[in-house]
Amino acid sequence: MTEPTAGGIFGKDLLDRCISCGFCLPACPTYELTGDEASSPRGRITLMRALETGHLDDGDPTLVEQASFCLGCRSCETVCPAGVEYGALLEQWRDHQWRGMRRPWLARVLMAVVRRAWLLRLQGLVRRHARARAREGSPALLLGCVERGLYPEVSRAVRRLRPEVTAPAGQGCCGALHAHNGDSASGAELAREIGARLPGRIVTTAGGCAAHLSAHLGRDRVKELSEYLVEVGHLPLGEVRVGGRRTRVALQDSCHLRNGMGVTRQPRELIGAVADYVELPNAGTCCGAAGTYSVLRPEDSRTVLAPKLAAIEEAGVDYVVAVNPGCLRQLRQGLRARGSRVRALHLVELLYMAEGSTGPRE
C-alpha cells in the first residue's frame, strides 16, 4: 500500500489515479441501492480529494456517512481501467476519519477483544476447534477470530480432509478487522505477528483473512483453502445427494477473495466435483456481511442481502456455499429469517459431507 504523503491523509498517486470515468458506478452495491453519486466509488474519491485539500473538514456529515456506508467490497477495482486501489484508499480514509473515539463504538469493542489472544484461545477450548501442533514443512491453518468460535466444525473438517495441514492453537487475530476499521497500522502489525507465529505456508478458510494476509506476507505464503486444495491436487471423493439425486449447490463469492485475490475458479471446480453446481446471477456481488458492516449497519446490510436471498430461492438449490465465515453467518441468518429450505454451509463442510460425514451442524 502506498503511504500517505507527509502531512497528508492519502497516498497522492492513489488519489491521482482515478480518472472519474464512472465505470465503477454499476459495480457498486451502495450506488445501486441509492443512485446517489456520493455513494459510488467515484463520488467517494471526490470526497476524499476534498478532504485531502481541505475543502471539506472531517466532520462534514457526507464524509462521515460515506466512510461508513461503503461496504469495502472492492468490486469497483475489478472494472477500473485506471487500476485505482480503492481498498487501500478506503483504509487510509478510515484511518483518518475513524481515529480515536470517532471509530464506531462496537468496532472498538470487537478490535479490543480480538487483540487478546487468550480470549480467542478460550473460545477455542469451549468450542473445540481443530488442534494440531506445527510441523516443519507442513502448512498451518489460520483458525480465525470468528470462525474458531462460531464454526469450529470448519477447521475440524479441514483436518479430516487434509491431515498434513496443522492447526496450532496459540494464534491470534490476523489484523483484517483492524485494517478495515480505521487502524491499518495495527492490522499490518498483527499480520506480521501471525506470519512469525505460523512460519511457512498459511492456509485459511476465510477469504477476507486471505486477502489481508497475502497483502502483508506475500501471495506465495498465503493460500485460501480452495486454492490450496486445487494446487495440491486434492480429488474430492463421493458426492452429496438429496432425495436420491445429486444435490444442487450455489456459491456466494467472498468479495475480497474474488476482487482482491482473483480466486473464483477453484471453489466452483470443487463444488462441481461433488454436486451439480448452479451459478447465481449475483454470485460475485456482496452479500452485505462485509466484515463488521453487518453489525455496524444492520439495516443496510439486510437491504444489500435481500436480492441475494431472492436469487438463491429462485435458483432452486439445496445448498449455498460460502468461503468466508462472515458470509456464512449472513446467509444462514437471512435464509432462516425467510423460512427457506436452503441451507448455507462452508465449502469444506460440503466436501466432507461428500466423503460420507453426517453433515454440518447448524
- Mean pLDDT, rounded, for 185-193: 95
- Cell numbers found for residue 63: 464524509
Given a contact cutoff of 8 angstroms between Cβ atoms, the answer to whether 176 and 209 are in contact is yes
Q: Show which of 61, 79, 101 is a domain's final residue.
A: 101
Do 64 and 135 fall into the same domain?
Answer: no
Q: Please, what is the average pLDDT of the chain?
A: 91
Q: Is 147 left (phi over 0), alpha (psi -120 to 50) or beta?
A: alpha
The pTM assigned to this predicted structure is 0.91
The size of the chain, in residues, is 362
Residue 319 lies in a domain: yes
pLDDT of residue 133: 81
Higher pLDDT, 355 or 299: 299
Residue 4 lies in a domain: no
Residue type, 118: W
- Mean pLDDT, rounded, for 16-27: 95
The CATH code of the domain that includes 90 is 1.10.1060.10
Residue 341 lies in a domain: yes
pLDDT of residue 118: 74
Q: How far apart are CA 85 and CA 163, in angstroms?
A: 37
Residue 361 lies in a domain: no
Contacts of 66 (CB under 8 A, 6+ apart): 38, 39, 43, 44, 47
pLDDT of residue 2: 53
> Per the structure, how many domains does the chain have?
3
Q: How far apart are CA 139 and CA 127, in angstroms?
A: 23
Contacts of 3 (CB under 8 A, 6+ apart): 11
Q: How far apart are CA 242 and CA 17, in angstroms?
A: 51
pLDDT of residue 113: 86
Do 169 and 279 fall into the same domain?
Answer: no
- Mean pLDDT, rounded, for 15-27: 95
HEC letters along the chain: CCCCCCCCCCCHHHHHHCCCCCCCHHHCHHHHHHCCHHHCHHHHHHHHHHHHHCCCCCCCHHHHHHHHHCCCCCHHHHCCCCCCCHHHHHHHHHHHHCCHHHCCHHHHHHHHHHCCHHHHHHHHHHHCCCCECCCCCCCEEECCCCHHHHCHHHHHHHHHHCCCCEECCCCCCCCHHHHCCCCHHHHHHHHHHHHHHCCCCEEECCHHHHHHHHHHHCCCCEEEHHHHHHHCCCCCCCCCEECCEECEEEEECCHHHHHHHCCCHHHHHHHHHHCEECCCCCCCCCCCCCCCHHHHCHHHHHHHHHHHHHHHHHHCCCEEEECCHHHHHHHHHHHHHHCCCCEEEEHHHHHHHHCCCCCCCC
Least confident of 149-158, 220-229, 333-342: 149-158
**357 pLDDT band (50/70/90 cuts)?**
very low
Inform me whether the pLDDT recorded for 171 exceeds 90: no
Residues pairing with 319 in the sheet: 249, 343
Q: How many CB atoms lie within 10 A of CB 282?
A: 16
Q: How far apart are CA 332 and CA 322, in angstroms?
A: 10
Q: Is 121 left (phi over 0), alpha (psi -120 to 50) or beta?
A: alpha
Q: Show which of 101, 117, 140 is a domain's final residue.
A: 101
- Mean pLDDT, rounded, for 325-350: 96
Give tens-digit pLDDT for 37-56. Answer: 999 999 999 999 999 999 99
Do 117 and 61 fall into the same domain?
Answer: no
Give tens-digit pLDDT for 250-295. Answer: 999 999 999 999 999 999 999 999 999 999 999 999 999 999 999 9
- Mean pLDDT, rounded, for 338-344: 96
Pick from 62, 79, 58, 59: nearest CA to 70: 62
Inform me whether the pLDDT recorded for 23 exceeds 70: yes
Do 21 and 79 fall into the same domain?
Answer: yes
Do 93 and 177 fall into the same domain?
Answer: no
Do 227 and 305 fall into the same domain?
Answer: no
Do 170 and 224 fall into the same domain?
Answer: yes
Least confident of 138-142, 170-174, 265-269: 170-174
Q: How many CB atoms lie within 10 A of CB 317?
A: 23
Question: Which structural domain range is residue 132 located in?
Answer: 107-231
Inform me whether the pLDDT recorded for 83 exceeds 90: yes
Q: How far apart are CA 13 and CA 17, in angstroms?
A: 6
pLDDT of residue 49: 94
Do 123 and 210 fall into the same domain?
Answer: yes
Do 24 and 53 fall into the same domain?
Answer: yes
pLDDT of residue 358: 41
**360 pLDDT band (50/70/90 cuts)?**
very low
Do 44 and 148 fall into the same domain?
Answer: no
Q: Show which of 79, 101, 123 is a domain's final residue.
A: 101
Q: How far apart are CA 237 and CA 240, in angstroms?
A: 10
Do 114 and 87 fall into the same domain?
Answer: no
Do 270 and 197 fall into the same domain?
Answer: no
